[in-house]
Chain A
Amino acid sequence: MNIVKNAILLSGIFIILQPYNCFPISIKVIGEYEKSGERDSILNPDNLLNRTVERGEGVILLEGIREILGGEGVAVLRGDAQYLKAPYSSSDTEYQGQINELYYQRDVNNWTITLGRKKLRLGVGYSWSPTDIITRIREASDPEDRLYHVEGTDLIKLSRIKGNGQYDLIYFPKVILEEKRLDQNRFGFRYYHYMEPVDLSLVGKLEESGRWAAGINGSLTRGEALELHGEYLYNTASDTLYPAYKENPKQFYLYFPYYRKNIGSHNLLIGGQYTMKNYWNITLEYLYNSEGYSQDEWDAYIEHIRFLNQSYREGENYGLAISGLKSAASVYRLPLRDHYFFARLYKENIFTSISLEWLNFIGLSDMSGFQIIQIQYTGFEKYNIYLRLQKPWGGASTEFGLIPEDFKGIIGIFIFIG
């Protein structure tokens, strides 16, 4: 870390390590042990990619808030010690520190100014939020970011509240802290309005490069316990790499041609959540991602991976095959197809102090997916313990069938110190 990053980290520590009676501070400590079963995915035969099979992780999250110059300074710092065990590398413990949030915020009448790093959530979706265009917070496999991986965005935000509405103007340049420079100017806005029973937001961003995105999200309440929500975002550009499906995949090892499409993308999410009479909470969402691979593109991608597998198994161009698989794996990111369905069931006290959560994410293009079950015991005053089980399913050539890990079990403890 360079001087700038150290200075920022120290200012966060300064906010946090003030006398306790001046302001609230909270400390959370999370410990997790994870064991993964290997899966002979065609993307990772014999675990060639050296995926982790065991993980031990300790996370500490320090959060402080302090009155400064008539406003408030907020610091959320995260420290992480991670032990990873993979078959072809020596086990080692890695330490990492990060500034999740560090900002100053002040309210003057109906105006609020925010300066610093902050998580800014604009979307309303549970599993995924296309309109989270400032800070990307949601991920279907861990919507609640239980280990606090997500960092805030460096921004200056000016907000005005008027009646049931809120206007936000945001300047959020790409900051390269190590090089002490701004990489790209970016501007965002949101207009939010609440008209009972509807919340509606218009969002947009414009980048120095000329790329822009604009969208809308909203939620609607019906009856006593139903909420419906939706999001739509149009983005002028896409970063997705597509396989050149018109090429013969067997011609290439490492340099199979991937390309970016010079077209805009559409993302849509429609969903709802309902709390039943017996307090089960159910969330259902449908996601559409126009950046997803078409069937031809997917077939080309899979065919190329199969060709590399065959080369690897037959010992023909062994090294090149491994490099090709690594290259194919680097392209693999979720969601890679176009239609998805998400379901979550949650109940707080299924038995005394025991909560149950069940997540299911299904790719409708090939009916593969994964599911997660988490059981948490909350009966202790200052800590919770949980068991999290995750399993992907799908055939060898399906999107989630490519995931290299099979069954994954995690036990964890969440300690609250105040």
Chain B
Amino acid sequence: MCKKNGCRFTQKRGKVFLASCFLLLASCFLFATVDKAAPFEDMDARAILEKADRTRSPWSDFEMKAILQFEQRERMVEEDYRVYLKDGTKTLVAFLSPIKQRGNLLLMVGEDLWFYVKDTQRPVRITPLQRLSGGASYGDIARLNWSLDYIPTFIGKESADVGNTSYPCIKLELSADSKGATYHRILLWIEEGQYYPRKADIYLQSGKLIKTLYFTRFEITKGSPMNREIKFIDHLDNDKTTIMRFEDIETHPIPSNYFLKTRLPDLSREVIR
């Protein structure tokens, strides 16, 4: 009996041992799978970011009017720009108003950003983070594809509240990877399923939160969903709000000569016509 019992006990212990080994192996496999999942998630994160970018810049070549609204000395100010984008990497921004700035240009080719002042006839090198107007930086208007300049990492799933609506989102962390990047670090909420960017927290290298961007309006434009409005909250300036709207979108091949520095003096007149 005892023997039998002993045998049973031994058999039982053997089964427990085998089960434990199985569980251990399974755990190892599971953990190994989780470990291996990180790069997979990263790859996924890039694909997700690219999908989100496509709602901000849906075509390779297009032009649009950008309108910036912000408060200055207790009154609302509106500034207009015409934006030409080509191949996702080249941008020309013509300043239409205010009248003081009319004819000035912003040129981004690859990772380099230039500001051309019409009266000085000389392009000046600037950084994308420099303030354009209100709470917007030059890079906010010159670069609509974050996937070009940042390494995305999957953080998790978290809802984002935009106005009165809460959106289930995928949360990504974007780390600057090129000199064309406007910001050092971005936490970005992208709506699940739709892949619309909904919210972005912008951080300085020091870790300080400087801005929050809300992507507030999406419309089907020329057959593609497109972000048509961004709300900037400037945490460095009493949480003042700046609205950037995109209108008059036209899709057509943009001439390559719009992105040559030698052409800027001509373009400063030509594109404001």
- On A, residues with C-beta under 8 Å from B are 23-24, 26, 65, 67, 72, 74, 105, 110, 112, 119, 121, 124, 126, 137, 143-146, 161, 163-164, 166, 192, 194, 196-197, 199, 201, 221, 223-227, 273-275, 279, 281, 349, 378-379, 381-382, 384, 416-418
Which residues from chain A contact B103 at a C-beta distance below 8 Å?
A: 26
Q: Is residue B13 within 8 Å, beta carbon to beta carbon, of the partner chain? A: no
Query: What residues on B are CB-neighbors of A417 within 8 Å?
Result: 99
Task: Chain B residues near A74: list those with CB within 8 A.
Answer: 269
**Stretch from B20-28, B158-166, B215-223, B253-261 forming part of the interface with A:** B253-261
CA distance A368 to B125 in the complex (A): 30
Q: How many residues of B contact A (CB 8 A)?
A: 34
Residues of B near A274 (CB, < 8 A) are 125
Least Cβ distance of B171 to chain A in Å? 27
Tell me which of B45-53, B115-123, B190-198, B243-251 binds A: B115-123
Pick the residue among B100, B125, B256, B273 that contacts A23 (CB under 8 A).
Answer: B273
Bound-complex Cα distance A119 to B265 (A): 9
Residues of the B chain whose Cβ atoms lie less than 8 Å from the Cβ of A194 = 109, 260-261
Note all chain B residues with C-beta closer than 8 A to A226: 125
B270, CB-defined interface residue at 8 Å:
yes
Known contacts A110-B257, A417-B99; decide if A275 and B179 are in contact (CB<8 Å): no
Q: Which residues of B contact A223 (CB under 8 A)?
A: 179
In order of increasing CB-CB distance, the 9 nearest A-B pairs are A418-B99, A224-B179, A227-B125, A161-B257, A416-B99, A144-B120, A192-B262, A121-B121, A225-B127
Is B126 a contact of A196 with CB atoms below 8 Å? no
- In the complex where A72-B270, A382-B99, A418-B102 touch, is A126 in contact with B122 (Cβ < 8 A)? yes
- Indicate if the CB atoms of A26 and B125 lie closer than 8 Å: no
Taking beta carbons and an 8 Å cutoff, which residues of B are in contact with A? 73, 97-100, 102-103, 109-110, 112, 119-122, 124-128, 130-131, 179, 256-257, 260-263, 265-266, 269-270, 272-273
Q: Are B119 and A144 in contact (CB under 8 A)?
A: yes
Residues of chain B within 8 A of A105, CB atoms compared = 266
A382 touches B109 (CB 8 A): no
User: Contact between B260 and A382 (Cβ–Cβ < 8 Å)?
Assistant: no
Bound state CA distance, A124 and B122, in angstroms? 7
Q: Which of B99, B112, B266, B273 lies in contact with A196, CB distance below 8 A?
A: B112
Task: Establish whether residues A275 and B269, one from each chain, have CB atoms under 8 Å apart when the complex forms.
Answer: no
Chain B residues near A201 (CB-CB < 8 A)? 262
Can you identify 29 A-B contacts, CB atoms within 8 angstroms? A24-B102, A24-B272, A65-B273, A67-B273, A72-B269, A105-B266, A119-B265, A121-B121, A124-B122, A137-B121, A143-B120, A144-B119, A163-B256, A164-B260, A166-B263, A196-B109, A224-B127, A224-B179, A273-B125, A275-B124, A275-B125, A275-B130, A279-B127, A281-B124, A381-B98, A381-B100, A384-B100, A418-B97, A418-B99
A205 to B266, CA, bound (A): 22
In the bound assembly, the distance between CA atoms of A122 and B28 in angstroms comes to 67
For A273, the chain B residues whose CB sits under 8 A away are 124-125
Residues of B within 8 A of A137 (CB): 121
A196 contact set on B, CB distance < 8 A: 109-110, 112
> Which chain B residue shows the least CB distance to A168?
B262
Question: By the criterion CB–CB under 8 Å, are B130 and A279 in contact?
Answer: yes
In the bound complex, residues from chain A placing their C-beta under 8 Å from that of B265 are 119, 121
Interface contact B269-A65, CB-CB below 8 Å: yes
**A134 smallest CB distance to B (angstroms):** 12
Q: Is the CB of B125 within 8 A of A161?
A: no
Q: Provide the bound-state CA to CA distance between A227 and B73, in Å.
A: 35
Partner of A225, one of B109, B125, B262: B125
A270 to B209: give the CA distance in the assembly, Å.
40
CA distance A196 to B124 in the complex (A): 16
Note all chain A residues with C-beta closer than 8 A to B269. 65, 72, 74
Q: Name the residue on B nearest A120 (C-beta).
A: B265
Among the listed B126, B262, B266, which residue makes an inter-chain contact with A275, where contact means beta carbons less than 8 Å apart? B126
How many Å from the CB of B236 to the closest CB on chain A? 13
Cα of A417 to Cα of B98 in the assembled complex, Å? 10
How far, in Å, is B52 (CB) from chain A's closest CB? Answer: 24
How many Å from the CB of A229 to the closest CB on chain B?
Answer: 10
Q: Closest B residue to A66 by CB, please name it.
A: B273
Bound Cα distance A112, B121 (Å):
19
Contact (A26, B102) CB under 8 Å given A161-B257, A194-B260, A223-B179 = yes
Instruction: Report the minimum CB–CB distance from B90 to chain A (whole Å).
Output: 11
- Distance, CA A161 to CA B103, complexed state (A): 22
With a CB–CB cut-off of 8 A, which chain A residues contact B120?
143-144
Residue contact B98 to A72, C-beta cutoff 8 Å = no
Nearest CB of chain A from residue B31's CB, rounded to whole Å: 41
